[in-house]
Structure formats: structure tokens, C-alpha cells
Structure 1
Amino acid sequence: MHAPPTIPAPGRPAASIDTPALVIDLDAMERNIARMAAFASAHGVAWRPHAKLHKCAQLAQRLVAAGAVGCCVQKTGEAEALAAAGMRDIYLSNQLVAPAKLARLVALAVRLQAEGGRLALAADSAHGIEQLAAAIAALPPARRPREALPVFVEINIGQDRCGAAPGAEALALAQQIGRHPALSFAGLHAYHGGAQHIRAYTERAQAMQEAYQQVVLTRTLLQAAGIAVPCITGAGTGTLVSEAASGLYTELQPGSFLFMDADYARNEWPVGAPAFEHALFVHTQVISRHAERAVCDAGHKSHAIDSGLPTVWNFGAPPALAFGNGGDEHGILTLAAGASAHPGTGGGLPALGETLWLVPGHCDPTVNLHDVMIGVRGGLREGVVEEVLRVDARGALG
């Protein structure tokens, strides 16, 4: 067992937070939530934020309180952790085929239904559907779900990851679901993760227009076969403007809008897109200082690097420092191109002992590296610690 992080008591200055630590600017996060809620309302669509981002039941519940219909997860363990902490409307937007995982899922669905909740699942294969039906049938009748388990058919609209082929293959799966009394066809899951970080917005929107043709094709075939399509769900932070304007989607699943990482900041955004702000930071301290570099204590064990290295936050101004790869425990800080001095020291690089704020390259896997997120009210410069948020589903990979 490791010692818990040293967390300042509520009311202590943000600068007193031990390093490295994951910190939420609560004011920025709440502005992001308000903008997402207003956007969804203005476009007449439901929103179901992806909890694989924050893995935190408290945040999932706040999003529901702001108008979200529930949350998405990607893993059975995430669903279990969030349900145990109070979430009641969960969509596992991924494929399950292992009997052990399906048994856990069905048991969770029974518990949620008994509490007035709902658990839905995605499927993209006949095998997966049959395995799910078998998991339900294996239970004694008294322990089975009281209501049919909602199942979405996921279709591949361009990412070439999971998803049945649009059209006839998806139709066959929907018909197969309909043949099982214990299951109900919930709609189509149509998410294009590969489009989220296409930098130019016109190219991103064009990729989605091509994807929507596959959604229309599939919906048309289903309706012609007498199968209603009650919901079309999908969308991420990078494409939600397109999905909302498409007239096809009834539910949006963005997650990263809540925190906004350095990778999303590189995207071009259209006029009218919600102005989401950076709200998640890694607090770090300079622990070594040399003429040409400073070294901080936030290495790869404190932030994910799959979408690039973090940026050094300069409170909205152009970066004064560049973050370089220092390995597991260290980051190398140098002056950014065109910068003559770091503003916090009055010249040169940051001083030994000085603390800084990093914007993670990819927020989702960064959160999964931490036990808690420390919420700060009043900004990072002058703010104070308000609360500690537990990462309930940290490490819930199965």
C-alpha cells in the first residue's frame, strides 16, 4: 500500500497542493458544462457524456444534474464502479463477448432495474448478441432482468474499429435482437473516433458527412423492415457540432469537453461551436535547475503521452515554456520558441522550487493514472482547494 497524497484542506491556496497532482479548475469546468447543456438544448438533442474521461461518479452525477440523460462507459468495471457510487442510467458503448463479463453486466442490469435505473449495451456481432441472451437465460427466472435489456447495434461509420457493416449486416443484427424476448433493440450507435482530431474543421465536417450517409442507409433499411430506430447515439467533442446539425442524431456522447486537453486545443473550431476551456491540469514543481533547462517532477507516470506531451499553461497567453520528455518521473522545461523569459521569475527559466501547471496531452488516460482529482475554486493563481474528487473507476479495465 502506498501513502495517500498530501492533500491540502479546503480553503488552502491552490499553490499549496503537493506535486505532482491532478487538479480541476472548477470554475472552468462548470462553464464547460453550462455551454454543453445550452448547446444540446438549443439543438434539441439529448447528451450522455462519456465517463471514461473522468471515471468519477460525483462528476457523472453533476452532469446529470445539469441535464445529461446519463453516462457512457467503455468497460464493465467502469459501469460497476459508477453504479456502486450512485449512477443509475449507464450505457456501456462497447462490445462484450466473454461470458464472465456478460454475467457481471446482467447482474448489474438487474440491480439497476430494481432501483429504477437502466443499463444498455452495444453489440456488433451475432455471437455477442447470442452470448448476452445466454447470460440472461442462465439465470433462474426470479433473478433475470424484469425488463428487456436495451441493446444498440454499433455500425462502423469510418473508424474501422468496432462496428457492424452499415446496411444489411446491421439490419440482420437488429432483427436478431428482436427475436430474443429478453433483449430490446435500442437504436444505432454511430461514433467516428478517428474524425475527432482532424485539425481543419472543414475536413472534419466532410469526414462526418460521408459517415452520415452510412447512418442514413442503415436507418432507412431498418425502417423499411418495420423496425423503429428510437435513438441514434454517437458524437465526440471534436464533431458534436456536425452531429447536432445533421438531423440524424438524437443523443450526443462527448466526454473531453469537460476538461479539454492539449490535443483538442490543436483543433480548428467553427463559428458557433461551444468555447470549451482547459479545466484539467497537472500541478508540478521544479526540482532541478540548470542554465539551459529546468526539471519538474511530473513525468509520464503523471500524464499520458499517447496524444503528445503536455503543454505548460501560461494562463491563456502564448506559451513561455516548452515541455520535453524527461522519462517516467521528470519533465524537461526549456524556453519556448520566441520566448525570452518565463513570466513567473522575471527572467530566464522558472526557479528551483517554483510550481507550474501542465495541460495534459490526453485527458482520459491521464485521469486513470491518479487516485483523486483536487478541485480548486477561484482559478489556479488565486484560487483555493474546495474538494477532492475520487477517481472511482481508476484501473477498471475489464
Structure 2
Amino acid sequence: MKPPPDTYNPATTGQRVDQIDTPALVVDLDAMERNIQRMAEFARKHQVRWRPHAKMHKSAELALQMQAAGATGACVQKTAEAEALAAGGVNDIFISNEVVAPHKLLRVARLAALLAARGGRLAIAVDSPEGIQRLGEALAAARAAADVLIEIDVGQGRCGAAPGPETLALAQAVHGQPQMRFAGLHAYHGGAQHLRSARARREAIAGAVEAARRTRDLIAAAGIDVPLVTGAGTGTLVHEAASGVYGELQAGSFLFMDADYAANEREPAQPNFEHALFVKTQVISARATHAVCDAGHKSHAIDSGLPRVLAQDDRHALDYASGGDEHGILRARRPGGHLPALGQMLWLIPGHCDPSVNLHDVMVGVRGGLEGGAVERLLRVDARGALS
């Protein structure tokens, strides 16, 4: 997919890796595709569906590539993200977030009608009676219908109704709306994803599983079918998949694997996901004590920490320090360690892939590795800045 003509491209297809301009967001396509394959195999083994979260990569092309590998569809967090993916050909979208503004709900309803006309579907999360009422009014006005999942708070302390009777009342309200199809429970524990110890994540998800099980059974006992419990992220997916309660995994970061996820203690059952997203940068100033590269905070997000510098061995290991918006300061990790020379190209592993992707118009897809590979694809970040 070609970016629009007014978008600057750091590379063109066919170029060698060393010709990519800097700073640039680069995807190692070989590593990414191994990640997709491992995720697909994991889901098949555990007999669960997978619906990767597109808020991470924001690319319709990548969403469709994962659907071709077996993904059910895509998750998004924003109405504008859903619209961007739909414009790129994605027809099965779940807005895993609450939308309550009337003008946004009209957009949701129109999108639901559009996807239905194309043989697709739109699903959306709700967590309040008023949210259900507003959504119903918007759908009726657009003569549209949507799948609706009740979000329950399974430990995140963010959105979501309380598990149990409160959620049952919401399910009954959705069940009574002619424009809505009750599609199940949205039970995502985002706070558990980056708990560093495997034991802490296991314990957190055990609580989430029990809350989802109890609520599902309560709703079913009231005569309402609960078709699906959906949730899970890259940090905890092994537990939701093995629970017997969750039928769908929403993990998204597995595709690229940022530095923060890599810092988690790994579960033995988790697939071996590889780093596939990098910021290519160049040394623009060299001193006896440090070097300076051209990738500052405008090229990668720092909410989950500073990026890691990819190094070939301990002697070349570098630490990245903040140099501001446009600069990164590089120092040797060990006394006497090697500092990069002026003009040398380096690779940074972002701390958090989602907001790092959102800083770029284009991701440069490289085939054949970061050393001797070549540019194969330019991946447009379709939902960049899709905040509404």
C-alpha cells in the first residue's frame, strides 16, 4: 500500500537497509511473520479465536494480513480507528471501548451499517444503562444493528461494570434492544500485562477468570446466552487461553514485541515472540565520552521507558539516555566499551510500540534482516492520530 503523495517516505521499495533515511520506523518482516505464525499456532492449539488489537499497529494492511493467517478480525479503541480500518478493507471490527458522545455514536451506527452491507460486522463495548440507551438511539436513527459486549472490570480499575448482578442487568437491557445483539463479555485486564513476575500475572488473571466465569454463569442462568468472553493481552494470553472461559484473545503487541514486554519474566508456555519493530537512527555527533544519534522522543514513545539499543555483543552494548526531542545520547554500557563512530547506523527497540507507531506516517518493511536486507513494503499507518 502506497502512502499518500504528500507524505514523506524515509525509503523506497528495493533500497538496501543502509539506504533508509533516519530516523525511521522499521519492521523486520521475517520476524513479524514468525510472530504471526506462532500466534496462529497457539490459538489453534488452545482452540480459541484471536482478534489482534489494531491500536498497536494502526495499519489496515497488517490487520488483513493477520486475518489471512486466521485472525477473526481486529480490535480498536477509537471510533476513528475503526473508520480508518474499514476504509482499508477490514470488515470485522470490535470497538473494545465505551462511546457515549451522540455525534460519535452516529458515526458508530453508520459504520455498523456500512460493514453489514459489505457482509461484515461491528461490535462495541458498553458498561452503563445510559450508554446502552444512547447507542440504541443512534442505531435506530441509522437503521443499523451492532453486536454489543458488556465490559466488566476484572481488575484494571478503569472502565467496566462490576462483575455479577450489575452486569446481568446490563445484559438484560441489551437483550431487550431490537438494534442490538448481545455478543458476550469483554473482560480485559490491562493492568496485569506488565506485571514483571510470571506468578503475579498468573494470580491477577486467576481473579479475572473467576469474575468472568461467575458473571457468565449468572447471565446464562437468567436465560440469556453468552456467546463469548473476550480479552487477554500479550503478557497474559497463556492464562486466558487455558482458562476454559475465554474464547477469544485480543493480544496485539506480540506482532512487534517492544522493550517493555520483553522485560517480563517469560511464561514457559508462551510463544517465543521476537522483536520486529525498530527505530533506525544514525550517529550525528561523536565525542570521547558519548555519541549522539538523531532519534529523540519525537521518533519513539517514552511512557514505558527509554528504548534499548540493539547490540551485536557486550563490547558494543550501549545505553540510551534522553537528549530531548531530536537527540539520543549513547554511552558505552561497560568501562572501555566501544562507542559508535560518526555516521554509524544503529537500531533502537522502542519501550512501547503502540504510541511509537502513532508518531510515524509510514513503517518501512524490510526483508532479509536488519544488516543485509532490503525494503520490500511501505506500510501506511492508516489510523495515525485517530483519537476521536
TM-score w.r.t. length of structure 1: 0.94
- After TM superposition, list the pairs within 5 Å mapping 1:368-379 onto structure 2: 368-379=358-369
Q: Secondary structure at the match of 2:259?
A: coil
What is the CA distance between 1:210 and its match in structure 2?
1.4
Any conservation in 2 of the 1:312–1:319 contact (CA below 8 Å)? no
Aligned counterpart, 1:382: 372
Amino acid in the other structure paired with 1:217 = R
The CA distance in 2 between the partners of 1:169 and 1:234, in whole Å, is: 19
Q: Secondary structure at the match of 1:263?
A: helix
Aligned counterpart, 2:239: 242
Aligned counterpart, 2:258: 261
From 349, 353, 378, give the equivalent of 1:363: 353
What is the CA distance between 1:272 and its match in structure 2?
2.3
Structure 1 residue 16 corresponds to structure 2 residue 12: no
Amino acid in the other structure paired with 2:368 = G
Structure 1 residue 109 corresponds to structure 2 residue 129: no
- After TM superposition, list the pairs within 5 Å mapping 1:176-195 onto structure 2: 176-195=173-192
The 10-residue stretch of structure 1 (379-388 or 319-328) with the greater mean CA deviation from structure 2: 319-328
The 10-residue stretch of structure 1 (208-217 or 226-235) with the greater mean CA deviation from structure 2: 208-217
From 136, 161, 164, give the equivalent of 1:133: 136
Aligned counterpart, 2:276: 279
Q: Secondary structure at the match of 1:282?
A: strand
Deviations 1:330-364 (A, max 9, x none): 1000011x3633xxxxxx31001111000000000
Aligned counterpart, 1:344: none
Structure 1 residue 78 corresponds to structure 2 residue 81: yes
Structure 1 residue 98 corresponds to structure 2 residue 101: yes
The CA distance in 1 between the partners of 2:193 and 2:167, in whole Å, is: 24
Percent identity among equivalent residues?
62
Amino acid in the other structure paired with 2:122 = L
Change (3 A) 1:70 1:3: closer
Name stretches of at least 5 consecutive residues in structure 1 with no aligned partner.
342-347
Name stretches of at least 5 consecutive residues in structure 2 with no aligned partner.
none
Amino acid in the other structure paired with 1:88 = N
Q: Secondary structure at the match of 1:135?
A: helix
From 49, 53, 56, give the equivalent of 1:53: 56
Amino acid in the other structure paired with 1:369 = L
Any conservation in 2 of the 1:151–1:187 contact (CA below 8 Å)? yes
- After TM superposition, list the pairs within 5 Å mapping 1:315-330 onto structure 2: 320-330=317-327
From 330, 336, 341, give the equivalent of 1:340: 336
What is the CA distance between 1:270 and its match in structure 2?
1.5
TM-score w.r.t. length of structure 2: 0.97
Deviations 1:213-262 (A, max 9, x none): 11111011101101111000000000000000111010000000000000
Q: Secondary structure at the match of 1:188?
A: strand
Amino acid in the other structure paired with 1:300 = H
Change (3 A) 1:316 1:138: farther
From 356, 371, 394, give the equivalent of 2:384: 394
What is the CA distance between 1:131 and its match in structure 2?
0.3
Structure 1 residue 305 corresponds to structure 2 residue 302: yes
Aligned-pair RMSD on alpha carbons?
1.5
Any conservation in 1 of the 2:316–2:339 contact (CA below 8 Å)? no
The 10-residue stretch of structure 1 (266-275 or 188-197) with the greater mean CA deviation from structure 2: 266-275
The 10-residue stretch of structure 1 (356-365 or 8-17) with the greater mean CA deviation from structure 2: 8-17
Change (3 A) 1:392 1:195: same
Change (3 A) 1:2 1:109: closer
Deviations 1:265-322 (A, max 9, x none): 1001121210000000000011111111101010000000000000001258797000
Amino acid in the other structure paired with 1:31 = R
The CA distance in 2 between the partners of 1:13 and 1:271, in whole Å, is: 37
